[in-house]
């Protein structure tokens, strides 16, 4: 426990340092742009003040003049032409500066979205949620019989007359869960028989539905099962797990989508049996395979 506490402290510290460093860089860039805008503004105010003084002098000249109107107009025009030559052109905000300002505006919107997503992901990732898994009858092999509440599956003695829809497995006695998972941490438990052949785990939503295939990650499946009198895994773990002397009766599947990890436990004893990587970034579904005399029950 101390090791995990130390690891968590280190991870949060690294995250804090990273965010502080990014904040310093971003604010430094904003400060540089602000200083450039301030210089342009001050230069503009100088030019504006010069022009204002020019027009004040012209107005005063008009008030004090006794010239005929035609001569006065011409004299004013000549004065404006002479004076305007002494006034600097107002500074122009270059496109590069405008793009830089827009970039800050745009980045703030991105930061706002990322921050909300990060908080939601962190909160959902830290909280382990019990999934209410139900069996998807549209995926069930025709020989599988499902209960009315879609919590129990057992292998029947004959094929049912069911539509051969694209989602349905036609060669292997497989049924998938209806619930989809892509982020967060979730778990569900399955009661398994002590003598039957079975497998439970996860699969990619895109898993092959027609024909036979192996229960391996390359086929989009990660599972723990029992057949041939022994317990089987998708990939032999290293080191090999130590199984209890008693038969497994209830399996917990713990899926960490955020970390890309799936673990299998003996739910009765709280013992970790096997952990492996899952399929990060993909939609995942609960996976169930039933062999001879098998019955699987998804726990409430």
Predicted confidence band of residue 25 (pLDDT cuts 50, 70, 90): confident
| Range in 17-26, 110-119, 221-230 with the lowest mean pLDDT | 110-119
* Averaged pLDDT for residues 109-117: 81
151 touches 300 (CB < 8 A): yes
**The predicted structure's pLDDT at residue 140:** 97
Interval 130-165: pLDDT, tens: 999 999 999 999 999 999 999 999 999 889 999 999
**The predicted structure's pLDDT at residue 250:** 94
Instruction: Enter the pTM of the model.
Output: 0.65
Task: Give CA–CA dist 80/82, Å, rounded.
Answer: 5
Predicted confidence band of residue 175 (pLDDT cuts 50, 70, 90): very high
pLDDT top residue among 91 and 25: 25
Task: Give CA–CA dist 74/55, Å, rounded.
Answer: 16
* Averaged pLDDT for residues 18-39: 84
- Mean pLDDT of all residues in the chain? 83
Interval 228-279: pLDDT, tens: 878 888 876 544 455 656 788 999 999 999 889 999 999 998 889 888 988 9
* Averaged pLDDT for residues 79-92: 59
**The predicted structure's pLDDT at residue 203:** 96
pLDDT top residue among 16 and 297: 297
Task: Give CA–CA dist 161/175, Å, rounded.
Answer: 16
* Averaged pLDDT for residues 190-219: 91
DSSP assignment of the chain equals -HHHHHHHHHHHHHHHHHHHHHHHHHHHHHHHHHHHHHHHHHHHHHHHHHHHHHHHHHHHHHHH--S-HHHHHHHHHHHHHHHHTTSPPPP---HHHHHHHHHHHHHHHHHHHHHHHHHHHHHHHHSEEE----B-TTTS-TTEEE-TTS-EEEE-SS-------TTS-SSS-EEEBS--BSSSEEEEEEE--SSS-EEEEEEETT---SS---SSGGGTEEEEEEETTEEEESS--SSPP---SSPP-EEEEEEETTTTEEEEEETTTTEEEEEEE--TTS-EEEEEEE-TT-EEEE--
* Averaged pLDDT for residues 49-56: 72
Task: Give CA–CA dist 116/254, Å, rounded.
Answer: 26
């Amino acid at each position: 426990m101390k090791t995990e506490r130390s690891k968590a402290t280190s991870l949060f510290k690294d995250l804090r340092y990273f965010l502080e460093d990014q904040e310093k860089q971003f604010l430094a860039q904003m400060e540089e742009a602000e200083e450039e805008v301030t210089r342009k503004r001050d230069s503009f105010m100088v030019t504006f003040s010069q022009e204002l003084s020019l027009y004040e002098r012209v107005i005063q000249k008009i008030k004090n003049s006794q010239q005929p109107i035609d001569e006065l107009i011409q004299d004013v025009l000549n004065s404006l032409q002479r004076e305007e030559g002494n006034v600097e052109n107002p500074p122009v905000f270059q496109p590069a500066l405008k793009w830089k300002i827009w970039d800050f505006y745009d980045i703030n919107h991105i930061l706002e979205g990322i921050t909300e997503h990060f908080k939601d992901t962190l909160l959902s990732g830290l909280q382990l949620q019990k999934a209410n898994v139900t069996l998807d009858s549209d995926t069930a092999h025709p020989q599988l019989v499902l209960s009315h509440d879609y919590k129990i599956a057992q292998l029947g003695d004959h094929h049912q007359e069911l539509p051969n829809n694209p989602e349905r497995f036609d060669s292997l006695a497989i049924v998938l869960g209806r619930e989809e998972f892509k982020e967060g941490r979730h778990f569900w438990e399955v009661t398994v028989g002590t003598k039957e052949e079975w497998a439970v785990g996860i699969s990619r939503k895109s898993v092959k539905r027609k024909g036979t295939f192996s229960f391996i990650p390359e086929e989009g499946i990660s599972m723990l099962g029992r057949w041939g009198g022994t317990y089987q895994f998708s990939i032999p773990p290293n080191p090999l797990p130590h199984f209890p002397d008693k038969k497994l009766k209830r399996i917990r599947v713990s899926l960490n989508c955020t970390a890309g990890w799936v673990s299998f436990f003996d739910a009765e004893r709280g013992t970790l049996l096997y952990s492996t990587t899952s399929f990060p970034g993909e939609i995942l579904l609960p996976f169930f395979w039933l062999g001879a005399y098998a019955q699987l029950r998804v726990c409430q």
